[in-house]
Structure 1
Amino acid sequence: MNIMNNEKSLNKATSLWFKATLFVSMSTLLCLPAQANNNDQDKGHLVSVDVVKKEQVNPSIWLPGNVISRKNAPISAEQTGQLLWLEEVGVDVEKGDVIARIDARHLTLQLARQKAQVKKAQADVDYLRVQKQRIAKLTEKNNSAVSEYEKVTKDLIVAENDVVDLSIAVEQTLLAIEKTTIVAPFTGNISQRFAHEGELITLGRPLVQLVDTQNLDIKVAAPLTIAPFLKRNATVMVKWQNQLITLPIRTWSQAGEQSSRTFDVRLAASGLNILSGTPVTVSLPKQQAKEALLVPRDALVLRENETYVLTVDKELQAQKVSVLVGQGVDDWVSVMGNLSVNDSVVVRGGERLQSGQKVRFNNALVAKL
């Protein structure tokens, strides 16, 4: 009995020792990646860098602008009547799609009456044509006065003109009925409604606002002094929602506003996923080309209140440098700030990098520097 108890105690002790050993081994393995990560962080954040260079660029001025639609129109009623149906706000419509319907019953009754009048006038024409032929035969035999023939001829001409006049009235009524169904004159989006179903709509009453959301421009009120430096299709920088994009100059006004000394400049913004009315900031050239410092576009960190780059000093520490952005040249951007030619700037890995933190690069980047 004692021998069995001793064996059970020994087996239990062995099991506990095995579990403890396994726990310690697993803990050690789990700690290794964390230690490795800590070692990597001690070495610094992994980044990619490029160097500042100097080139000829046009000095620029940053101006506020607004996104506008090239087609933005209130669609009005062309007939009077009760509004039966109106398209909802926010709906995309194609050119020719129905966006409103007006009651046309009174026009339908008017059309029926006019068609009856056309038939009546046509019956008079048919009668007078037969009468003219009969009198013409009598006149040839001297059995009827010439004046009688002339009177019938005149009555026939009047009757034929009455048919033409009444037929035109029928066409006008058909056009009026067609206009009780309002269709979109161009592809766009319903941005506003100015009426509601059941209202009595008068001629010329605006019903909806239709906006073309695809063909967009950015409108800038620019000072007249920069007009000589603009070039059609030249690309300029646009700042929008912490993004920096390039867009071409599409056109500009050839006359300025006397009171503000400004003129309209339009940038082509078609295809951008942006709402009409969105505010942006645009960089336009203001002087002849001169030398300026350029950094890669990816080096810019855009914030709501500032734009900056992160440089790397000799101690491999990141340093924040605020800059003013100028013109873009391919994948580079001219800047003004506390920078020098051949300064290293972070182009990758700087999203969460703070000023003063250590950085590290791979061997290829070190060799490049």
Structure 2
Amino acid sequence: MRKMPFSTFAGNYWRSAPHVSAIASHWPWHWEKRYKMKLLIAGLALLTAIVFVASGNEPEPVPQALGDTATTGQQVDVHVLRASHQQDVLTVFGQARARWQISLRAETSGRVTQVADAALVGALVQKGDVLAEIENTGQQLDLANRTTALATARRVLAEEEQRARIAQENWDAAGYKGDPDPLVLRLPQLEEARADLNAARLAADRARYVLDQTRIVAPFDGAILKRSVGPGDLLQSGDEVVELYDTQKMDVVLTLTEAEAARLSSPIGNRVRLIATQSGREWQGVVERVGQRIDATNRWIELIVSVKEPNGLLPGQFLRAEVDGRSYEDLIGIPRALIGRDGAVWHVDFDNQLRRMPVIPVFSQGDRSFVAPGSDWPPTLRLTPPSRNFLNGTAVSPVFMSETDTLNLAENGAGQ
């Protein structure tokens, strides 16, 4: 089919204004394809030229000369350390708890007539404070009856004692030989009267005690955790009234691993410094008891610390504890930044040569590890921070650091 010239096509288009589909059916697409092909070839040629020029101008790599990083005579920081008396202080964590926390319950039945403000949750109470009162008419009546019975028993005993005395006098006056029958001297009746008096006395004491229990009082100085009754409630014997804990006697339970427990020579009586993890407030305590078992799951041992003055210490409060451990005469406290990952330190001897010395810490405290000097160690260690380039016998130029620098290294440094 013969192609229509473009000028003819354009003239026909403007004369007839056909639909877009008519334009697509008459467009000379072979012109567009040729134009795109030429552009593609030109672009590839330009890209090839750029790559060629760039690769031709790239400088050749210069090999680095060996031995440029030689450590011979290099300056190193040196920290001077000596052995001294050291006190191991074990840092562990624990939780405070009240030594006594009880549920105070009614010992008699009745209707609650009054609940004191001291029984409200959070209130501090003193020993003997009245927390609630129960209607006590029945208890008063019972005490009155028991008191009457006690008086009667005393009278009966007095009468029997009089009768027994008269019977003994009559027996003696009659001149009978031998021992009289106990009934003649009214001894069984006298013994019965004495037993009745004792029973009446105990019954009266019991009635008085029950009457006293209609007033619920605090058994010790403490704080109210929970209130279970209100005015008008009907209580049965055994019902809970309040729950409270003792504020004057607090314990802290510390959990130690077996390795940590081995650092305590005799834990009983050891002083403990207790610090609140949130507020930083401090208390003093003493190890009072040691748990008599090892936890089967976590392998923990419990230390129970008695707090001397627990003012402000709350049950459940989380604490950091510093427990005095063993004392050592000659240990060297080495900052961990001076101990390599392989567990060794680098000592600069008096010939200014490096000497590698393995160390085994006796204990660690803070950012220091305390080690016992080896038999072949010098009396003074001159340690430098470890480096991967160090070798035994390497000559160095020491720069001695001050004690302040060593202290800062222990506080801020990190082992490599």
How do 1:66-81 residues align onto structure 2 when only pairs under 5 Å count? 66-81=95-110
How do 1:135-284 residues align onto structure 2 when only pairs under 5 Å count? 150=184, 152-230=186-264, 231=267, 232-236=269-273, 238=275, 240-241=277-278, 243=280, 247-259=284-296, 260-265=298-303, 266=305, 268=307, 270-271=309-310, 273-282=312-321
Unaligned runs of 5+ in 2: 1-78, 337-363, 369-384, 386-401, 409-416
CA apart distance, 1:344: 9.7
- Match of residue 120 from structure 1: 152
Name the CA distance, whole Å, in 2 between partners of 1:143 and 1:285: 86
Name the CA distance, whole Å, in 1 between partners of 2:258 and 2:164: 77
Where relative contact order (Cα < 8 A, 6+ residues apart) is larger, the structure is: 1
Match of 2:122 among 83, 90, 105: 90
Answer with 70-79 or 276-285: which moved more. 276-285
Amino acid corresponding to residue 114 of structure 2 in structure 1: W
Report if aligned partners of 2:276, 2:318 keep a CA contact under 8 Å in 1. Answer: no
Name the CA distance, whole Å, in 1 between partners of 2:175 and 2:123: 76
Deviations 1:308-362 (A, max 9, x none): xxxxxxxxxxxxxxxxxx85xxxxxx337x9x9634999xxxxxxxxxxxxxxxx
User: What is the percent sequence identity of the aligned residues?
Assistant: 20
Report if aligned partners of 1:53, 1:293 keep a CA contact under 8 Å in 2. Answer: no
Deviations 1:178-217 (A, max 9, x none): 2332332221222222333333334443322222334433
- Match of residue 404 from structure 2: 342
> Cα–Cα, structure 1 residues 263 and 197, in superposed 2: closer, same or farther, change >3 Å?
farther
- Match of residue 101 from structure 1: 133
Name the CA distance, whole Å, in 1 between partners of 2:168 and 2:138: 45
The alignment's TM-score, normalised by the length of structure 2, stands at 0.49
Q: Secondary structure at the match of 2:200?
A: helix
How many residues align? The count is 257
> Cα–Cα, structure 1 residues 254 and 109, in superposed 2: closer, same or farther, change >3 Å?
same
Name the CA distance, whole Å, in 2 between partners of 1:128 and 1:162: 12
The alignment's TM-score, normalised by the length of structure 1, stands at 0.54
CA apart distance, 1:163: 2.2
CA apart distance, 1:141: 6.3
Aligned residues: CA RMSD: 4.4
Name the CA distance, whole Å, in 1 between partners of 2:114 and 2:280: 42
Q: Secondary structure at the match of 2:146?
A: helix
Answer with 110-119 or 150-159: which moved more. 150-159
Amino acid corresponding to residue 316 of structure 2 in structure 1: G
- Match of residue 300 from structure 1: none
> Cα–Cα, structure 1 residues 159 and 225, in superposed 2: closer, same or farther, change >3 Å?
same
Name the CA distance, whole Å, in 1 between partners of 2:236 and 2:246: 26
How do 1:276-315 residues align onto structure 2 when only pairs under 5 Å count? 276-282=315-321, 291-293=333-335
Name the CA distance, whole Å, in 2 between partners of 1:244 and 1:189: 21
Q: Secondary structure at the match of 1:163?
A: helix
